[in-house]
A and B are shown apart, each in its own frame.
Chain A
Amino acid sequence: MTAVTAPPRELAKSGIVAWLVTTDHKRIGILYMLTSLGFFLIAGFLADVIRLQLAAPQQNIVGPAAYNQVFTLHGTAMIFLFVAPFGFGLANYLIPLQIGAPEMAFPRLNAYSFWLFLLGGLTVFAGVVTQGGAASAGWTAFAPLSDVRVSAGVGQDLWILGLTMTSISGIMTAINFLVTPIVFRAPGMSMWRIPIFTWEMIATALLIMMAFPPLTTAFAMLLLDRHTGARFFDPGSGGDPVLYQHIFWFFGHPEVYVMILPFFGVITEVVAVFSRKPVFGYTGLVLAAFAIAGLSMGVWAHHMFTTGAVANPFFAGMSFLIAVPTGIKFFNWIATMWKGAISFETPMLFAIGFMLNFLIGGITGVMLASPPIDYHAEDSYFLIAHFHYTLGGGSMFAIFAALYFWFPKIWGAKLDERLGRIHFALMFLGFNLAFLPMFFLGVMGMPRRVYTYPAQAGWGLLNLSSSIGAALITIGTAVLVWNVIVSLRKKEPLPDDPWGGGYSLEWATSCPPPEFNFRALPPIRSKRPAFDLHHPEYAKDSQK
């Protein structure tokens, strides 16, 4: 294949400079994933601080002001710097490979996005060393909590500025995710043959383009309020704090789907490979992704039922509707597994863990979409449990599934299976031990964002269980880090498709892939070109 031409390298082929100046989508993908995992470790440490503080009633390990900073940074880092960016990293690595392209459409824009994301994350955390400490208005920075009277410190400014950078970076990334699969597909890779993961990223990119600009706007308005006395959100001067909530959630709810759609894609790929069956209901899965993306643009005010200032029936109805395409996805995963030759390697374990956890998150989501229930559960630990089941039990589990699944492709070494199983067991047990009790705590009336609680409340035992769960999660994460270290030490040559049964194009090139991805592309005659290549005896079936 006469793939592409490259100008000669002038700066460096290896070493740190090579990484600083790289525009290779695979390297940028790796940088994104490593950085987001780094932020995950920090945010996880902060979660442990929260759980240590709440393990027993009336403790004072961190005081109230520090506690506010800790949960703000935990939430911010998990959402803006870990889950969504990991998806971006994975997509950066995979989209060109999956569609048979040598690169992203705009490699330098891609590099710019990554560096701006990193600088944004560092800016958010730079608040820690400022005089007033880091931001403490929660990950939502609602006015008036984030206004200059309540949050006078420069930490809040750095938080807003840092996230503005990540938001700009996200928009730039989305341009690449949209243009590349539309324009750069290899011959034969029609739109209806591209893998589900790439489709999910197209839907995600559309969401980013619609949702991130409003966020940037909201932040600009916050800054104007804080520094020029603009008073957009100050009711004393005719402003309206609910306006901030509208704009924030117009971003915030689609953002939730920016954090889950890529991982629906991951689960689809993993389930099919380890069930040794083609994906069931390909078209349905694609349409469901777009239905979810579309509906998610019309549900923002379900986060605002209790303000009494929004049309509750409309937003409740739209929110209920999202359960339908999500249900379709679940149905299709189960149908893909049905009568398959299922094997339970670590990626599949995490995929099944994802389905179980996300189901709980999804069903409690439908409950919360009903305003009468939401009036009771709003701002309680019930809500905390709900969204951790979707984002932690859901997205985070899918991230681990992806990590184990594509690790051999990226690094040329498989992660150790035994350590992987231990990691999964600790995570699954720990996660449910940590978050199931929170539903009950919420029903018993424990509010979120409190740094301690009285012994008489009777919440001690459930909180202790939750903290033990967090400890298990931490040990599980340590096992993962150990696994990466030992597995990278015993690298051995791997075939193109180390799992056997891989069907999308990334499994038709070496582990790791060469510069510009493919030495030769196989003919693309179906949705499963790599499978057709490795199993020509079945190729006719998949081309039907």
Chain B
Amino acid sequence: MNTAMRVFLSSTAFGLGVSALYWLTTHENVGTILLGLFGAGFAFVAGYLFVIRGKARVDGDEQRAPAELAGETIGVFSLESPWPIVLACCTAGLLIGVVLHPMLAFMALIALFVTLWQLVRESV
């Protein structure tokens, strides 16, 4: 996890650095904030990885672990589910409906909630 944390930390430093450079060369607020936020977003992820660093153990970080261990802790994967495609249709219907046809949007929204509910049910 350390490497991942370093990736995010260096991205944070980079974002904040560019933001400072931008402000020094332009004295323009909007761009400075935008670039600063891009650094700050990474800081959030880096911070999270720092907080969980002791608890989260990733197989990949065990440099010499035997391969036979692979997957034991990974768990259950489903190979199929009808709901993602239905959810995609609902999303498309909702977006198109909001702009072009409120009734379509309304129906898509209801279908969307039902689908989300089905996805939750499938997961437990």
Indicate with 1 or 0, residue by residue over A309-329, a CB within 8 angstroms of chain B CB atoms.
001011000100000000000
Is B81 a contact of A21 with CB atoms below 8 Å?
Answer: yes
Determine the chain B residues whose CB is within 8 A of the CB of A202 once the complex forms: 7
Q: Which residues of A contact B79 (CB under 8 A)?
A: 6, 9, 22-24, 515
Q: Which residue of A lies closest to B89 (CB)?
A: A119
Q: Is the CB of B88 within 8 A of A119?
A: yes
Given known A4-B75, A188-B67, A523-B66, contact A294–B60 (CB-CB < 8 A): no
Complex contacts, A154 vs chain B, CB 8 Å: 100
Residue B103 at the A interface, CB < 8 A?
no
Check if A97 is an interface residue, CB within 8 A of chain B: no
A99 to B60 CA separation, bound complex (whole angstroms): 9
Residue A184, interface by CB 8 Å = yes
B77 partner residues in chain A, CB cutoff 8 A? 4-6, 23, 102-103, 107, 516
Q: Is A29 an interface residue (CB 8 A)?
A: no
A157 touches B100 (CB 8 A): yes
Of the candidates B3, B11, B72, B85, which one forms a contact with A190 in the assembled complex, judged by CB atoms under 8 Å apart? B3
- Considering only residues 90-107 of chain B, those with a C-beta below 8 Å from chain A are 91-92, 95-96, 99-100
Report A148 CB to chain B, min CB distance, Å. Answer: 12
CB distance from A347 to the nearest CB of B (A): 28
Are A290 and B11 in contact (CB-based, < 8 A)?
Answer: yes
Residues from chain B with a CB closer than 8 A to the CB of A376 are none
Tell me if A164 and B3 are in contact (CB < 8 A): no
Which A173-225 residues have C-beta < 8 A from chain B? 182-192, 202, 206, 209-210, 223
Given contact pairs A6-B78, A524-B67, A190 touches B61 in the complex (Cβ within 8 A) = yes
Question: A437 at the A/B interface (Cβ < 8 Å)?
Answer: no
Range for the number of chain A residues in contact with chain B: 35 or more
Chain A contacts for B58, CB-based, 8 A? 182-183, 185
Whether B60 pairs with A223 at a CB distance below 8 angstroms is no
- A141 vs B52: C-alpha distance when bound (angstroms): 43
Inter-chain CA distance A227–B25, complex, in Å, is 39
Residues of A within 8 A of B10 (CB): 290
B74 and A4 contacting across the interface, CB-CB below 8 Å: yes
Is the CB–CB distance between A188 and B64 below 8 Å? yes
Is the Cβ of A18 less than 8 Å from the Cβ of B71?
no
Contact A9 B80 (CB under 8 A): yes
Q: Does A238 interact with chain B (Cβ within 8 Å)?
A: no
Does residue A522 face the partner (Cβ distance < 8 Å to B)? Answer: yes
- On B, residues with C-beta under 8 Å from A are 1, 3-4, 7, 10-11, 14-15, 18, 21-22, 25-26, 28, 31, 34-35, 38, 41-42, 58-72, 74-85, 87-89, 91-92, 95-96, 99-100, 119
24 contacts between A and B (CB under 8 A): A1-B71, A5-B77, A6-B77, A10-B80, A21-B82, A23-B79, A102-B74, A111-B81, A112-B85, A157-B100, A161-B95, A161-B96, A161-B99, A184-B60, A187-B66, A187-B69, A190-B61, A206-B11, A206-B42, A209-B41, A210-B38, A297-B15, A298-B18, A515-B79
